[in-house]
Amino acid sequence: MHPEGTRAVTPLTSLKGVGPALATRLEKLGLSRAEDLLFLLPLRYEDRTQLVKIGSLVAGTRCLVTGEVLLSEVAFRGRRNLLVRIGDGSGQLTLRFFHFSRQQQAQFEAGKHVTCFGEVRRSSSGFEMIHPEYRILREEQGAAMSDSLTPIYPTTEGVQQGRLRNLTDQALRAMDEAPPEELLPASVTGKLGMPSLADAIRYLHRPPPDADVQVMLDGKHPCQHRLAFEELLAHYLSLRSLRALAETEDAIALTKNQDRVDDFIGDLPFKLTTAQKRVVDEILTDLSQPHPMMRLIQGDVGSGKTVVAAIACLKAIACGVQAAIMAPTEILAEQHWRNFSDWFRPLGIEPAWLSGSQKAAARRESLAAIADGSAKLVVGTHALFQEGVDFSQLALVVIDEQHRFGVHQRMALRDKGIDSAGHPHQLVMTATPIPRTLAMAAYADLDTSVIDELPPGRQPVSTIAVPDSRRGEIVERVRAACASGQQAYWVCPLIEESEILDYQAAEASYQMLTEALPELRVGLVHGRMRPAEKERGMQAFKEGLIQVLVATTVIEVGVDVPNASLMIIENAERMGLSQLHQLRGRVGRGAAQSHCVLLYKPPLGRIAKERLAVLRDTNDGFVVAQRDLELRGPGELLGTRQTGLPDYRVANLVRDADLMPQVQITAEAIRKSSTERAAAIVRRWLGDAGRYGKV
């Protein structure tokens, strides 16, 4: 992030005390130039503006005290400790150090005065502070109190708080001499009651003693709104510029052979819903244009996004060009490959397969077919946009579960298709419904279509939460469902980020169910299996050869078994709402009333209780997504932890959602009035080129 829009920037090494080694460590905090320090905002604040009498200390508080050194000794109690006893006439306090030097030990002479700050803890001998920050006072020197609240910054190994405060002091002094350019129109800051950028930055780095710390910790202070607004604006402008760029680029207008598409739709064993027809029309209109389509399809679990994508792919193939489908996991990519094969083989189209785990010979064969154009449809994982994959004429890219990929990743696949005819069209799908304000911020470069209607005959899934002490009753419920000809999933979610523990949890449940239900055929599918083994297990379940499928969350998306009407989810309290909703969507695909049982380990925390209550109360994916956003934040809902989606430093998409409509209005006004100002805002927050495209 760069606080100057158009001015020269200052290297970190120009600051006093910053050499190449420290500059490298600071880069881990996203700091590449001196101005970036202005935007490294504190995580919290501490009050060092007042001294607290030792006799008034309260355990668990962090405070500033001063006193005379009464005693200093090295003790061996399990490990080597330096213990320093200080007093101020009202009481005594022990300072405890586990890591100390001989020189440090010598500083604490009896009779010296010391000021220290730390967390007060209760010990067997009274109150103590462990490794406090401290200063030995010179003769006649008073205790050093701050004239503002003390900021606590995000830090990294080898960079201490004191060093960061010193560096931000230098950056703030430089800012006073050359204030950052005001890039927001005065009409906007005036309307929203926002301070100037320089005033906001100074206040947040060095709040006065009377500042309302709780308001700042909640992110509700006008100074925080000022910075959050501009950061949201920068991301939005960057994505809109990407969109504007696409509108000037060429693409193949797919206008021929509509009769092949109409015949395909007519031959489907089901009728498209009204919502599916509307979205198909929007897509076909986009594809007929000589500029690249950039469209997002949102649709709840089971709303029929895949067949809509198949119609788009067939349109491209009917026009003599290639289409590619990318999914985030092999199992979902395999599901697409199987569905598209079933639909397209009768039409003489054989989909090609490309994934990271493919054997060398099969991969060479796929790459050759992709390069010479004989593979009209290519299905795969992110292996599709790796080096060595060359398309003959890629005109349409379909990306499933967009929230698992970053913007830069879909740009990479899009760039694969650039040739003399232009850029490929892009169709992005997600089964994670996204609240409007979040979609506005994260997908501003895309047009949005919503499939807001489920196919006829689908009944809402009945959901209950049950403590795992009633596991025996649930096993009997599985027995009864299977005896009546139905099938059941028993899902063991990932407990930790470990395939081994994941596997062990599933294995234990498999053993338990095999012993408890000897009359039923129980299957097992987990993440450590080879793709072919997983495929066999899934297929056996789909064909009814297995009645109960014990699985890890590999079945979260893509698997469609209409006869499965019961789902048990273990450790449901550990999972996010959107993932639970996705899993629940695996049942309720047939005519029978379906049920989902959320098994949990009591006692439940507040958030876990709220999560399970939401699932009991609604089957609406948009309601679920909104509550998930409120409970967990945008990072987990959109998957920013694994991807390149915007990672905000100041803004929070949940807390600051109410700013987005005004951000959108301001962005469009700035784009019309001054491309230079728009470019400067993006450059300030995202760097010289922007993260997603040039303004």
* pLDDT for the residue 269: 87
513-550 pLDDT, tens digit per residue, is 999 999 999 999 877 777 678 778 888 888 899 999 99
Decide: helix, strand or coil at residue 449: strand
Buried residues in 325-362 as b, exposed as e (16+ CB within 10 A): bbbbbbbbbbbbbbbbbebbeeeebebbbbbeebeeee
Looking at residue 455, its pLDDT comes to 75
Report pLDDT digits (tens) over 290-324: 999 989 898 877 778 889 999 999 999 999 999 99
282 contacts 449 by C-beta, under 8 angstroms: yes
Are 311 and 264 in contact by the 8 Å Cβ rule? The answer is yes
Q: Are 108 and 83 in contact (CB under 8 A)?
A: no
Residue 99: Cβ-neighbour burial (10 angstroms; 0-12, 13-18, 19+): exposed
Model confidence at 46, pLDDT cuts 50, 70, 90, reads confident
Domain 462-618: assigned CATH number: 3.40.50.300
CATH topology identical between 251-451 and 462-618: yes
21 exposure class (CB count in 10 Å sphere: 0-12, 13-18, 19+): exposed
Q: What is the pLDDT of residue 230?
A: 93
> Quick check: 495 pLDDT over 70?
no
Banded model confidence at residue 277, pLDDT cuts 50, 70, 90: very high
Asked if 303 contacts 451 with a C-beta cutoff of 8 angstroms, the reply is yes
Which residues neighbour 263 within 8 Å (Cβ) at sequence distance 6 or greater?
A: none
Half-sphere exposure of 527 (CA within 13 A, CB side): 19
Between CA 140 and CA 133 the distance in angstroms is 21
β-partners of residue 567 are: 489, 596
Mean pLDDT (whole number) for 480-489: 94
* pLDDT, mean over the chain: 83
Residue-range domain boundaries for the chain: 12-46+151-218, 54-145, 251-451, 462-618
Phi and psi dihedrals of 277, rounded to 5? -60, -40
Report residue 533 as tokens: 């083994």
Predicted confidence (pLDDT) at residue 42 exceeds the cutoff of 50: yes
Confidence of residue 327 (pLDDT cuts 50, 70, 90): confident
Taking residues 683-694, report their average pLDDT: 60
- What secondary structure does DSSP assign to 593-623, as a single string? --EEEEEE-SSPPHHHHHHHHHHHH---HHH
In one-letter notation, the amino acid at residue 251 is A
Summarize the confidence of residues 84-89 as an average pLDDT.
93
Is there a contact between 510 and 549 (Cβ–Cβ < 8 Å)?
no
Task: Quote the pLDDT of residue 640.
Answer: 38
Q: Copy the structure tokens of residue 442.
A: 């994260």
Mean pLDDT for the stretch of residues 234-252:
85
Structure tokens at 518: 């000897």
Q: Which of 217-221, 273-277, 333-337, 635-639 has the lowest mean pLDDT?
A: 635-639
CA distances from 323 to 36, 372, 374, 384, 420 (A): 42, 14, 12, 12, 17
**pLDDT value at 691 more than 50:** no
The CATH number of 251-451, from 3.40.47.10, 3.40.470.10, 3.30.920.30, 3.40.50.300, is 3.40.50.300
Beta bridge partners of 448: 296
Q: What topology does CATH give the domain 54-145? A: OB fold (Dihydrolipoamide Acetyltransferase, E2P) (2.40.50)
Residue of higher predicted confidence among 292 and 555: 292
Nearest to 116 by CA among 91, 140, 139, 135: 135
List, for residues 634-646, the tens digit of each pLDDT value.
544 444 333 334 5
Which pLDDT score is estimated for 418? 67
Task: Tell me the pLDDT tens digit for each residue of 8-22.
Answer: 568 888 889 888 888
Residue 1: the pLDDT is 42
Q: What is the pLDDT of residues 161-195, one digit of tens each?
A: 888 989 999 999 999 888 888 999 888 888 888 99
119 forms beta bridges with: 62
At CB < 8 A and 24+ separation, what contacts does 639-642 make? 639/403, 639/404, 642/404
Structure tokens at 344: 């397209």
Return the pLDDT at 309.
95
Residue 416: pLDDT band (50, 70, 90) is low
Q: Which of 604, 443, 153 is nearest to 613 (CA)?
A: 604
Pairwise CA distance, residues 594 & 377, whole Å: 35
Q: What percent of the chain has pLDDT over 70?
A: 89
> Looking at residue 390, what DSSP letter applies?
-
Predicted confidence band of residue 633 (pLDDT cuts 50, 70, 90): low
More confident residue, 370 or 125: 370
For residues 636 and 231, the model is more confident at 231
Is the pLDDT confidence value at 500 over 70?
no
H-assigned helices in 390-470: 407-416, 436-442
What average pLDDT does range 624-649 have in this prediction?
Answer: 58
What type of residue is 425? H
Strand stretches in 332-376, DSSP E: 352-354
> What gap in Å lies between CA 449 and CA 472, rounded to an integer?
45
Query: Alpha-carbon distance 195 to 580, whole Å?
Result: 43
**pLDDT for 681 beyond 50:** yes
650 close to 224: Cβ distance less than 8 angstroms: yes
CA distance 281 to 18: 59
The Cα 106–Cα 312 span in angstroms is 77
Query: In DSSP terms, which residues pair with 626 in a beta bridge?
Result: none
Which residue in this structure is represented by tokens 């049942």?
587
Q: Which amino acid is at 406?
A: G
Residue with tokens 């795969």: 380
- Calculate what percentage of the chain has a pLDDT beyond 90: 35
Beta strands 126-130 and 121-123 are antiparallel
Q: What tens digit of pLDDT does each residue of 355-386 get?
A: 887 888 999 999 999 999 999 999 998 888 77
- Pick from 22-26, 521-525, 563-567, 688-692: least confident: 688-692
pLDDT confidence band for 67 (50 / 70 / 90): very high
Residue partners of 271: CB distance under 8 A and separation at least 6: none
What is the amino acid identity at position 172? Answer: L
CB 212 within 8 A of CB 224: no
Burial (Cβ within 10 Å: 0-12, 13-18, ≥19) of residue 103: exposed
Residue 463's closest CA among 569, 598, 621? 598
